[in-house]
Structure 1
Amino acid sequence: MTDVTAGLLGILALFLLMVLRTPVAFAMLLVGFFGYWGLSGYRSASAMLLTESYSAVSSYSLIVVPMFVLLGNIASAAGYSRGLFDAANAWVGRMRGGLASASVLGCAAFSAVSGSSVATAVTLGKVALPEMRRLGYADSLATGSVAAGGTLGFLIPPSTGFVLYAILTEESIGRLFMAGILPGILLAVLFMAVIWLVATLDPAAGPQGPRVTWAERIRVSSQAWPLFGVILVSIGGIYLGVFTPVEASGIGAGLVILMALVQRKLDRAGFTAAILDTLKTSAMLYMVVIGANVLNPFLAITHIPATLGAELQTLGLGPYGTLVVILLAYVVLGMFMDGLSMLVITIPIVFPVITGFGFDPIWFGVVAVIVIEMGMITPPVGMNVFVVRGVAGPDVALTTVFRGVAPFLLAMIAGLLLIIAFPAIATFIPDTMFG
């Protein structure tokens, strides 16, 4: 059996284990360890398992994950997400579909402290969906806007997707965080344009809200300024070079905890629940990183990435033709796999191909994350769709939510094409900042 054949069998075994509902971290561990054992022997496989597991969990850069997850959980437990939504509604609620647009803006703002797509969708869904239902919004528009807005949590820094991508490719977390800002704003604007168009074509789907005076807007916005301040300090500090992403995560988490305690918005039960949720999420992400670190050496000795790159080059599709093939593969995988699983399994395989064709690795990180975001709202898996449907209640059909996210999916495709056509949308800020 050739090394390439062993690698293909390993990938097939990986997908089979996931079909059998084996957690992706343990599926990668099993395939990586036993595959390496079969090709290099037990002693080499045991040494690889120990060294790769230790190097994965001892990575200083990985500290940003539990810190930013804690930041988002504390902000949610303290009710700061409500302030973000109310502030956004005060400014855009008067527009057609204004409450849905406020949901998107609230998701974008909460993404800057959460880093998680599902957490963003759940947190803002609990606040926005009852309000939209009370005002007579169509279920499809209400749930679609929250599910789509939630995907911004995977793109707008601090994104867990960017952290994993950086660890897998050894790229700069700071550059990736900065690269996600303009694409995140672009997608938020496109989502709001979709909401306005849907509400214009069907005014009953997204009625206008009442007029709000400037004094009321300022009053409501002032309630959200403490959390905005944390966002500006953490993300702005990275941009200005005052501190690193790891330091920013600790400072942000510390500030939001202190702020919640001073304002008496966090009791013992809420704080305990936030800590436990952070531990669970962080443990899951750390196990995924360990699994990826064990799988990667197996893929390397099978020469799968090099063979794939050579085969794609023989097709004569050119750089952008090859990129299209890779992105289409991501779209198909996104119908059956969650985002983190797609990222850790595919990046070690496709990254050498992408860099071999001369594409900017930071730019491709943004493109890959957006395509993975699309998988979060496409059937049959669509993690955000299931989460939002659970928040909306059993009287909202799953097909209603999928119908609601369809126009937002088109907006994401349009945004992706713009970033491919104009790479500076993703690279301008990191290139300006880091030179």
Structure 2
Amino acid sequence: MDNLIDMKALLEGVDIFNLSLWLSGLLIILVVIGVRVAFATAFIGFLGLCLFFMQKQGFDRGLVTAMKLAGQVPHSKSTTYALSLIPTFILIGYLAYYAGLTRYLFEAAKRWVGWLPGGLGVATVFATAGFAAVSGASVATSAVFARIAIPEMLREGYDKRFAAGVVAAGGTLASLIPPSAILVIYAIIVEQSVGKLLLAGFLPGLVSALIYGGLVIGLAKVRPSLGPRITGFTWGQRFASLPGALPILVVVFIIVYSIYFGWATPTEAGALGAFVVLLMALWQGMKWGQLKGALMEAAKLTVMIFTMIWGVLIYVRFLGFARLPDVFADWIGTLHYSPYTILLCILLVYVVLGMFMDAIGMLILTLPVTFPAIIALNGGEGVSRADSAFGMTSEECAIWFGIIVVKMAELCLITPPIGLNCFVVAGVAQDSKMPISVQDVFRGATPFFGADVATVFVLILFPGIVLWLPGLL
């Protein structure tokens, strides 16, 4: 008992804000050395809650309170209706893949743009953009087209690094183009409209795809050996490829149309899209083994995402008690620098973090701190366009920042040493006996880092690209 009393006295002299800084530093160390984000955040969050309540209530009662809160918060938050959208979006992508719909999409893109320099690379970019419109997961998109596009490019004499880099970078488009699981997670964390954020990602996703396509053409023009043109397709063959791509286009239309015109919530639109893809897959002759595979893969990815959300929610609750987000937002407001300079500094932090963390983990870990800071920088909640720093309301600022920060999260999918998309592409290539290493994929994806930076600057300079569609909702 004396030891417990001494411990309480020790904690009473500890400033909880400084403690949150130390624990956040420890969290970064744990993530860098390889501890899973879900477990690292849950551990640090629970430890912080224990120390906070022990300081207020003593050892025994504080421990019990922390345990209750750590158990209640993940359940209460993860049962949010909007989060049910995530598994439906993921399921759409896997059903489309197992039904073979992605091959038809790639074939159509190849016939229509293969004549360009690096034509198969351009076709891969546009096909991944199309598949991204029915798949909410970047990793799934990369894995699918590593099996479809890379063998085709290698057969046509494409450079293996170039081919692998195109697929790894093209897979990141699923982070922006709706339906996007990561945009849903952002909307839940910052408490913004899921429907508006999904619509906001549509045009930036297309801009990103066009910049990727332009980069592929430019590289192939400078070095024709990277990707020769594919010629010989007649106009009849091109038009004949369109019906095979039609199912995916129909699903995209259903999801975007239903959300835009308001006759279905995003969750209902996702469920409807999954049902339509399932009917199309069955019509194409999907077998029970393929359906089982799609369901299992969707379940695995869904569980991974929700586990990360649960861990981070515990950590975020501790940060709330420590007032770290509020203090950081107040501090940002006192800086005598241009708002755009501060924004770029925050984005540079995401570049560094992206080298050590996956996209979803990075966002749900940092947004509780960076989002209030950006809103404060813009002028605070309820600010008008005339009085704001970025020339937009607080809601518009939340949507605009969301698209930019998700685009920044895409960078971490192709940057070493984590670069999850690059590891997935290399893994699929090795399983398929293709001579492509992880180093080859990283080297091939390097030019696309510059394309992503260019896209971010375009979205910062022209926020209307982000805000036009949600403004019409």
TM over 0.5: yes
Say whether 1:413 aligns with 2:462.
no
Say whether 1:326 aligns with 2:346.
yes
Displacement of 1:18:
2.4
Displacement of 1:20:
4.5
Contact 1:148/1:405 (<8 A) preserved:
yes
> Which amino acid is 2:50 matched to?
W
Say whether 1:122 aligns with 2:136.
no
More RCO (CA 8 Å, sep 6+) = 1
Aligned-partner SS, 1:136: coil
* Structure 1 consecutive aligned stretches of length 4 or more whose deviation exceeds 6 Å: none
Aligned-partner SS, 1:107: helix
> Which amino acid is 1:342 matched to?
M
> Which amino acid is 1:362 matched to?
I
Specify the alignment match of 1:166 in structure 2.
Answer: 187
Contact 2:330/2:376 (<8 A) preserved:
no
Contact 2:32/2:356 (<8 A) preserved:
no
> Which amino acid is 2:446 matched to?
A
Match of 2:131 among 110, 130, 133: 110
Specify the alignment match of 1:388 in structure 2.
Answer: 425
Say whether 1:72 aligns with 2:109.
no
Structure 2 matches for 1:366-381, cutoff 5 A? 366-381=403-418
Match of 1:343 among 363, 372, 378: 363
Alignment gaps of 5+ in structure 2: 1-13, 54-61, 379-389, 391-396
Displacement of 1:229:
0.8
Displacement of 1:396:
2.2
Contact 1:56/1:289 (<8 A) preserved:
no
Specify the alignment match of 1:193 in structure 2.
Answer: 214
Say whether 1:221 aligns with 2:238.
no
Q: Distance in 2 between matches of 1:54 and 1:419?
A: 36
Q: Tell which structure's C-alpha radius of gyration is larger.
A: 2
Q: Distance in 2 between matches of 1:44 and 1:423?
A: 45
Specify the alignment match of 1:27 in structure 2.
Answer: 40
Q: Distance in 2 between matches of 1:191 and 1:398?
A: 21
Specify the alignment match of 2:301 in structure 1.
Answer: 281
Q: Percent identity?
A: 39
Q: Distance in 2 between matches of 1:302 and 1:44?
A: 16
Specify the alignment match of 1:39 in structure 2.
Answer: 52
Moved more, 233-242 or 313-322: 313-322
Q: Distance in 2 between matches of 1:318 and 1:210?
A: 51
Contact 1:115/1:157 (<8 A) preserved:
yes
Match of 2:332 among 299, 312, 315: 312
Contact 1:199/1:205 (<8 A) preserved:
yes
Displacement of 1:324:
1.0
Match of 1:422 among 462, 466, 469: 462
Q: Distance in 2 between matches of 1:256 and 1:230?
A: 7
Match of 1:12 among 25, 28, 32: 25
Contact 1:155/1:370 (<8 A) preserved:
yes
Say whether 1:152 aligns with 2:173.
yes
Q: Distance in 1 between matches of 2:169 and 2:142?
A: 8
Specify the alignment match of 1:202 in structure 2.
Answer: 223
Q: Distance in 2 between matches of 1:94 and 1:21?
A: 44
> Once the two structures are superposed, what CA deviation does each residue of 1:140-181 show, in whole Å capped at 9, x if it has no partner?
221111111111011111111111101111111111100101
State the TM-score, normalized to the length of structure 1: 0.96
Displacement of 1:186:
0.3
> Which amino acid is 1:36 matched to?
L
Q: Distance in 2 between matches of 1:202 and 1:216?
A: 29
State the TM-score, normalized to the length of structure 2: 0.89
> Which amino acid is 2:304 matched to?
M
Aligned-partner SS, 2:418: coil
> Once the two structures are superposed, what CA deviation does each residue of 1:252-278 show, in whole Å capped at 9, x if it has no partner?
1111111111231x1111111111111
